[in-house]
Amino acid sequence: MTTMQRVYKFGGGVASPDVTEGDASMNYILGGKGANLAEMCRIGLPVPPGFTITCQTCVEYDEAGNSWPDGALDEIEAATCDLEARMGKRLGDAEDPLLVSVRSGAPFSMPGMMDTVLNLGLNDESVMGLIAQTDNPHFAWDSYRRFIQMFSNVVLGIDADLFENAIAQRRLIAGVRTDAELSDEDLRDLVDEFKAIFAREVDASAYPELVVDGTVTFPADPRLQLRLAIQAVFGSWMNERACIYRQRNRIPDDLGTAVNVQVMVFGNKGETSATGVAFTRDPACGARGTYGDFLVNAQGEDVVAGIRNTEPISDLANVPGLEEAAAELDRVFGILEGHYRDMCDIEFTIEQGKLWMLQTRAGKRTAAAALRIAIDMVEEGLISRDEALMRIDPSQLDQLLHPQFDTSAAVDVLARGLNASPGAAVGEIVFSSDDAVAVHEAGRPAILVRWETNPDDLKGMVAAEGILTSHGGKTSHAAVIARGMGTPCVCGVESFRIDAVAKEVHVLGTDIVLHEGDVISIDGGQGIVVAGAVPLVKPELTGDLDTVLGWADEVRLDESAGRGYHVRVNADNPEDAELALEFGAEAIGLCRTEHMFLGDRKQIIQSFILSDDADVRAKALEDLLAVQTEDFVAMLRTMTGRAMVIRLIDPPLHEFLDDPRELAGEIARKEALGQDVSDARERLRLIDGMMESNPMLGLRGVRLSIVYADLPLMQVRAVASAAARLKLEGFDPRPEIMIPLVSITEEHVQTRAVAERVIAEVEAEYGVKLDIPIGTMIELPRACLVADEIAAHADFFCFGTNDLTQTTFGFSRDDAEAKFLPAYLHEKVLAANPFETVDPAVLQLVKMAVDKGRAVTSEMHFGVCGEHGGDPTSIVDFFNTAGVDYVSCSPYRVPLARLAAARAKLISER
Ligand code: PEP
Ligand code: MG
C-alpha cells in the first residue's frame, strides 16, 4: 500500500541545494500559498525555505475530532530535522537558533480568515542566541514578546487585550509614546509579564502538556510549540469567521487548509529592513504599474493590520539602504507576471537589504480592474480573449452597476481617504460590527466606521452598506475584504478621530462631531466622505465592459460549432426594455402582464373580479383591453425585430384585491365614528370569498384562463391588435404568447385554441397576417413528466424555475428563505439556496422536459426565465446540462448573463 505524502519541502538552505517538491498545480494539496511558494522556488525567486503540510492532513485531523492521523507527526518531525539540517541551525538553539513562521494556506484564498504564528522557536535560551547573532537585544526581546503574545492569542485563544493593556501600562510607566521606544529591559519585563498572563489564563485540564511541576507554563520546547501551532492552524479552518467567509464565497467546507512552516526572515531588523504587500497592477482600477504599501522596520502583520500608516511602494526605492532591494522587487514583479500571466498579489520582506518573497497569488481585484487587466493582457499578448473571459467572474460585474453619487447633486466633501473599493453608499454611522448587524436587521442602511477592521468584524462588514476606516492602506483588511464583497469602502480617513466608546467622530480641522445614527455618504471610487445623504444614481456601462461583453457575444453567439447561447430579459415596461437593450439583451424572455395591472389600473381589474354584474365586468374588460393594447404597442415598438414573450395573467387574483385585514380595520374605525360601512362590509365579504388556503397552489396561471375565459380573450386580443397596428405602421413586432403554470396538456390545448381563434379574428379585422408562436411555461413537475405530450401542441417551452423549485421541493417560495432555509444551509442539509442556484434535481426536470420536447420536434426552442436565469452557476448548468437556448433575467443582470453564457460555451467546447 502506498502511503499519502503529507509533507512537501520547498527551497534550499545555506547547507543545501533547492529541494522543492511541489508546484503551482498542487493547489488542492498544498493550498494556494504552499503551491505558489514551491512555484516561486522553481523559478528561482528568493523564498525562505520550509515545508508544507497538506490540506488532506487537516481534513483527516478535523474529521478524527482533532486527532493526528497515523505517521503525520513523524513526517513533520523528519521535515523539521531536514529544515534544521538545510539551514545549519536548530530550533531553540542557545547560540544560533532557527526561527520559523507557521501559516495557513487553503486551496482558495481566504485573506485574514485563518491563523498565523510568527517567531516560533523562541524561548529563554534561544532568545540569548538571537541576541548573540544579531547583536540587537531590543529586536530579540521584542520578537520574543511578540511570539508569546501571538501564540497565546492564536493557539490558546487568550484575549489579545490582556497583552495590549500590559504594553500600554508599560509605556505609561516608562513614560514613552510608542512600543519602539520601550527599552530592552522593558521588553524583557514584558516577556515575564506575558508568561504570567499565559499561566493565569490557560486551563490546565485542557492542556496537560503545558503543565510543568503542577503549574501551567509557557512551552519552552520548540517542538511542542510547533505541534500546538500547527494544530491551531488546522483548527482555524473551522473558526466562525472562516466558515462565514466560505459560505459567502461558496468555498466547500471539506477542503481543509495546508500549513506552511517557513524559516523566519525579519523586516524589523532596523532601518534597512522592511515588509510590504504589493500588486503587480492597480487592484482598484487595473492600471499598469506596481501598487502597494510597505513599512520600514516592521513585521508583516503590521502592514495588513493597518496599525501603522504605510508608505506607497513607489517610495521604496527612495529609502536609504533599500534601493537595491527595490530594484530587485521590480524585477520580481516582471518575472511573476510573465510566469503567471496574471496580476499577482505578493507579500515580501526585506531583511537588512536582502529581498525575500513570502507569498504570491492571483490578486483580488475590483470588477473595473478585472476588465482593464484582461484587456491590457490580451493587448500585451500575455493571454487570449477566451482566457480573458474565463478570468472575469460574472458576479463581479454587479459592482460596475453599483450606485454612484449623482453628479448633479451639490457635494460638500467632509473628509478624504483612500478609494479602497468602488461604489457609493449612504447610511447611518455605526461603530461596531454588532451595531451594523442590528441596524441592518432593522431594515436601515449602515456605514461601519472603524479605526481599522479585523477579521472578527466580518459579520458587520457583510451587513453594512459601506465601510470607512481612519487607518490602513488599500491593502488593509478593510480594503481587501470590501473589494471582495463589492462593498463601497473608504480607508485611511486620517482626519476622522474616532471614539468608538463615546460613539462619536471628531473631524479634525473643523468643530464637527458626528454621532452614532448620523447619516453620511461615502464614495469608495473617489475616496470621499460627505455628511448627510447624497442622492445616488445607477452607473452607465464603461467602455471596458463593452469591449469584454463584445468578446463574450462573439463566443456565445457563434453557431458554427453548434447552437448559440442567448440572453433575454424579463421586462414588463418600455423603460426596462430599453435599458435591457442597452445592456445587450437580445429579446424579452418574460413579460409578466399582471404587472401592467398595478397602480391606477388596479381599480379596473378589481371591478372585473368582484362584480356579478355582466355590464360592469364587460366595461372593465373593455378598459383593460384599451390599456393593455397601448402597453403592448409601446413595448413591441421598443422591441421591433426582436422576440417578446408575453405571459398571460398568472398570479392569484386576490393579489389585486385589498388586504382583508386592513379593510376590517378600516370598517372598525368607521363604525366607531358612526359612519356607514355597508359597502365596505360587502366588499370584505367578496374578498373573503376569494381567499384560498394555499394561493400559490390555487387559482392562478392557466387555471385563470380556464375559469375566467374572458381574460385570455382580452389579453390575446390586446397582443394581436398591438402587433397588427405596428405591422401596418411598418414595424416588425414579434410577440410570442406564453401560457403559465400548465400541468395538464388539455389546459394548454384549450387555451391555445382560444388564443388562435382570437388571433385569426384580429388578422381578419386588420387585414394583416400575424405569426404569433404560442408556448408553455413549464413550472410544475407534472408538466416536465408529460412534456412530450405538451410539446405536440407548443411552439416553445420556457421554464419558470422559481415555481418549479417551489413545487419540486414543496418549499414555499414566499416563506422558505425566511423560515427554514437559513437553518438548512447552516446545518448543511442543503449546499446552496435552491431559489438562487438551480438545484440538481430541478435541473434534471428541466433537462428531461427539454429532451422530451426536442424528441417531438426539432423546431421548438427552450428558455429559462426564473431568477436562476441571472445566476452565473445556474447559467452554465442550463446551457450545458439541460441544453436550453436562452436564459432570461432582470435588466441589471443581463451583462453578467452575457459573460456567464460565453463562459458556459467555452467550458462546453473544452
Ligand atoms: C417562475 O416561476 O420562475 C417565473 C418566472 O414566474 P413567476 O416568478 O412570475 O411566478
Ligand atoms: Mg411562475
Report which ligand 1 atom has the smallest distance to the Cα of 867.
3
Rg for the chain (alpha carbons), in Å? 33
Q: Which residue has the cell 358612526?
A: 674
- pLDDT at position 553, please? 98
| Ligand 1 pocket: which of 865, 868, 893 to mutate (most atoms within 8 A of CB) | 865
Distance 366 CA to ligand 2 centre (A): 35
Protein residue whose Cα sits closest to atom 3 of ligand 1: 800
Atom of ligand 1 nearest to the CA of 802: 3
* Number of the ligand 1 atom closest to the C-alpha atom of 590: 5
Which ligand has the nearest atom to the CA of 868?
1
Q: Which ligand is nearest to the CA of 865?
A: 1
The verdict on whether residue 801 carries a ligand-binding annotation is yes
SS (H, E, C) 318-331: HCCCCHHHHHHHHH
| Ligand 1 contact, 594 CB (< 6 A) | no
- How many Å lie between the centroid of ligand 1 and the Cα of residue 364? 35
Distance, in Å, from the CA atom of 40 to the CA atom of 899, rounded to the nearest integer, reads 32
836 CA distance to ligand 1 middle (Å): 13
Cα–Cα distance list, 247 to 33, 223, 252 (Å): 21, 35, 8
**Does ligand 1 have an atom closer than 6 angstroms to the CB of 803?**
yes
Atom of ligand 1 nearest to the CA of 799: 3
Q: Which of these, 809, 799, 784, 821, lies nearest to 867 by C-alpha position? A: 799
Q: Is the CB of 592 under 6 A from ligand 1?
A: yes
Which atom of ligand 1 is nearest the CA belonging to 803? 2
Nearest CA residue ID for atom 10, ligand 1 = 803
Q: Where are the domains of the chain?
A: 1-123+221-264, 124-220, 274-362, 402-537, 566-652+696-772, 660-691, 776-884
Q: How far is the CA of 864 from the centre of ligand 2 (A)?
A: 11
Task: Report how far apart the first and last C-alpha atoms of the chain are (Å, whole number).
Answer: 35
DSSP conformation class of 109: -
Cβ(779) – ligand 1 distance below 6 Å = yes
800: annotated binding-site residue? yes
**What whole-number distance in Å separates Cα of residue 326 and Cα of residue 332?**
10
Can you tell me the distance from the alpha carbon of 595 to that of 573, in angstroms, rounded to the nearest whole number? 9
- Cβ contact 415:495 at 8 Å: yes
Atom of ligand 1 minimally distant from the CA of 866: 3
- Residue 251 phi/psi, 5-degree rounding, is -95, 125
780: CA distance to ligand 1 center in Å? 11
- Assigned C-alpha cell, 480: 481587501
Given the candidates 3.40.50.2000, 3.30.1490.20, 3.40.50.150, 3.30.300.130, the CATH classification of the domain at 1-123+221-264 is: 3.30.1490.20
- Whose alpha carbon is nearest atom 6 of ligand 1? 800
Q: Does ligand 1 come within 6 angstroms of the Cβ of 874? A: no
- pLDDT at residue 575, rounded to an integer: 86
Catalytic residue, candidates 402, 440, 477, 793: 477
Output the CA–CA distances (angstroms, integers) from residue 342 to 44, 48, 374, 380, in the order listed.
18, 23, 9, 12
Dihedral in degrees, nearest 10, Cα atoms 680, 683, 685, 687: -130
Write down the catalytic residue from 55, 58, 491, 865: 865
Ligand 1 binding pocket includes 724 (Cβ within 6 Å) = no
Closest CA to 258 of 356, 361, 114, 121: 114
Half-sphere exposure of 628 (CA within 13 A, CB side): 30
779 annotated binding-site participant: yes
pLDDT at 401: 77
Q: For residue 592, which ligand has an atom nearest its CA?
A: 1
For residue 800 and ligand 1, the question of a CB distance below 6 A is answered with: yes
Taking CA atoms, 3 is separated from 20, 70, 75, 830, in Å, by 20, 10, 11, 34
Nearest to 618 by CA among 599, 604, 597, 628: 604
The pLDDT assigned to 541 comes to 65
Q: Which of 591, 738, 803, 889 to mutate to test the pocket of ligand 1 (most atoms within 8 A of CB)?
A: 803
Q: Which of ligand 1's atoms lies nearest the C-alpha of 865?
A: 5
CA distance 706 to 590: 21
Q: Could you tell me if the CB of 801 is within 6 A of ligand 1?
A: yes
Assign domain 124-220 to a CATH class: mainly alpha
CA nearest ligand 1 atom 4, residue: 800
864: exposed, middle or buried (C-beta count within 10 Å: 0-12, 13-18, 19+)?
A: buried
Cα 650 to averaged position of ligand 2 atoms, centre (Å): 7
- Residue to substitute in 703, 779, 807, 845 for testing ligand 1 pocket (most ligand atoms within 8 angstroms of CB): 779
Residue nearest ligand 1's atom 9 by CA: 592
From the CA of 651, how far away is ligand 1's center (Å)? 9
Strands (E), 422-515: 424-430, 446-450, 466-469, 489-491, 496-499, 504-507, 513-515
Going along 115-219, which residue ranges are E strands?
Answer: 116-120, 211-212, 215-216
Of 882, 696, 714, residue with least CA distance to 807: 696
- CATH for the stretch 274-362: 3.30.470.20
DSSP state string for 2-43: PPPP-EEEES-BTTB-------GGGHHHHHHHHHHHHHHHHT
- Whether 831 contacts 838, CB under 8 Å: no
Which residues, other chains included, contact 724 with Cβ-Cβ below 8 Å and sequence gap of 6+? Answer: 762, 763, 765, 766, 768, 770
Long-range contacts of 878-881, Cβ-Cβ distance < 8 Å, separation of 24 or more:
878/838, 878/843, 878/846, 879/565, 879/904, 879/905, 879/908, 880/904, 880/907, 880/908, 881/843, 881/847
The pLDDT value given to residue 303: 66
Q: Check: CB of residue 485 under 8 Å from CB of residue 396.
A: no
Q: How far is the CA of 641 from the centre of ligand 2 (A)?
A: 26
| Cell (9 digits) for 59 | 481534513
Q: To which H or E segment does residue 522 belong?
A: strand 519-523
Inter-residue contact 361 to 343 (CB < 8 Å): no
**Matching fold, domains 1-123+221-264 and 402-537:** no
Q: How far is the CA of 865 from the centre of ligand 2 (A)?
A: 9
Which pLDDT value is given to residue 2?
52
Residue among 249, 371, 363, 369 nearest 873 (CA): 249
SS3 530: strand
Q: Ligand 1, from 570, 596, 742, 802: best to mutate by most atoms within 8 Å of Cβ?
A: 802
Q: What is the pLDDT of residue 1?
A: 43
803 is in an annotated binding site: yes
Name the residue among 339, 333, 374 with its Cα closest to residue 355.
333
Q: Are 291 and 353 in contact (CB under 8 A)?
A: no
Active site residue 793: no
| Amino acid identity for residue 265 in this structure | V
Ligand 1 atom 8: the closest Cα is on which residue?
802
Q: Which of these, 410, 427, 413, 403, lies nearest to 530 by C-alpha position?
A: 413
Going by alpha carbons, the residue nearest to atom 1 of ligand 1 is 800
Q: Which ligand is closest to the CA of 568, given by its number?
A: 1
543 burial type by CB count under 10 A (0-12 exposed, 13-18 middle, 19+ buried): exposed
Closest CA relative to residue 152, chosen from 97, 98, 207: 207
866 lines ligand 1 (CB under 6 A): yes
**Distance from the Cα of residue 6 to its chain's centroid:** 32
- CA–centroid distance, 179 to ligand 1, in Å, is 62
Domain 402-537 is found in CATH 3.10.20.340: no
Ligand nearest to the CA of 593: 1
- Complete DSSP assignment for 425-448: EEEEEE-SHHHHHHHHHTT--EEE
Residues 592, 588: Cα–Cα separation, whole Å: 10
What whole-number distance in Å separates Cα of residue 804 and Cα of residue 787?
A: 14
Q: Give the mutation target among 646, 743, 777, 836 for probing the ligand 1 site: most ligand atoms within 8 A of CB.
A: 777
CB 865 less than 6 A from any atom of ligand 1 = yes
Q: Is 592 known to sit in a ligand binding site?
A: yes
Q: What are the mean pLDDT values of the chain's consecutive 10-residue runs (910 residues total)? A: 84 90 96 97 97 97 94 97 95 95 92 86 96 92 95 93 92 87 95 97 92 94 97 92 83 93 92 93 90 87 66 93 96 95 95 95 89 96 96 85 81 89 92 94 94 81 94 74 80 90 92 96 92 85 89 96 92 88 95 81 86 92 95 97 96 79 87 91 88 89 93 96 98 98 98 97 98 98 98 98 96 82 88 92 98 96 94 97 96 92 95
CATH fold group of domain 566-652+696-772: TIM Barrel (3.20.20)
CA of 694 to the centre of ligand 1 (A): 17
477 noted as active-site residue: yes
DSSP state of 893: G
Q: Which atom of ligand 1 is nearest to the CA of 740?
A: 6
- Ligand lying closest to the C-alpha of residue 589: 1
- Displacement of CA 839 from its chain's centroid (Å): 20
Q: Which run of H or of E encompasses 262?
A: strand 258-263
**Cell of residue 4, nine digits:** 499519502
CA angle 629, 633, 638 (to 5 degrees): 150
